[in-house]
Amino acid sequence: MGGAGNFELLKQALASLGPQPTAKAAGVKTSNDEAKLLAAAFEKVAERYLSDAFAGEFDKLISEYRVMLRENLAKADDAPLRAALNRARLQERILASTQMAEQAEACELLGLSGANPSATMRRKEDRHELLRFTVDGRAVYPLLQFDVEGRRIYPAMSHIIAAKPAEWSDFRLLHWLTREHLDFDDTPGAALGSDPEAVIAAFERETEPAVHG
């Protein structure tokens, strides 16, 4: 019921419950019982008005809350989803913290023609000479792989990629290369040029199957 209907209801209630004319109409006051009835009428009108005005809003709010609650419960109970989200966030952090070279820049670092950088770098990818990732739809290469002075890719990279177990993703390898290691003063990636044999040996130890006995 709209506001006009509620106003009519209020007028009718007042008309029916108000004091009726009597022989002493000029000097008669509303009795206590009539006052209570009048207050009850006001309460009923107010209750109906508020119910009509806000029922829709309350129903909508409750419905939205239930949807949100179901979604949150589903997310909280979905272990595979949580694991996938954690992996995606870790990958984003690794990529964001690693200096990258785009295809044209990689060709320039290697002293190669930039006429068709995509094809040039694709050949190196196919030969498993270096790691490649995609950021914002663009192919990028971790800068740590490049011997800038020698204008080449560090040869140790192809050995490490060849030794990478099938269960190791490229992201996992990049994480290992960019994480501090006890065998080095810095990260394995920082030692690719200065101590490549040690990096290869450390990676082989990292990936060798655990012996149970």
- Encoded tokens for 106: 């990689």
pLDDT at residue 26 greater than cutoff 50: no
Number of neighbouring beta carbons within 10 Å of residue 199: 26
Read off the pLDDT of residues 193-213 as tens digits, 9 standing for 90 and up: 999 999 999 999 999 987 655
For the chain, percent of residues with pLDDT exceeding 70: 63
Read off the pLDDT of residues 143-159 as tens digits, 9 standing for 90 and up: 999 999 999 999 999 99
Q: Give the pLDDT confidence score for residue 23 in this predicted structure.
A: 46
**The amino acid at 66:** R
Domain ranges of the chain: 82-207
pLDDT band at 69 (very low <50, low <70, confident <90, very high): low
Task: Say how far apart CA 172 and CA 3 lie, in whole Å.
Answer: 66
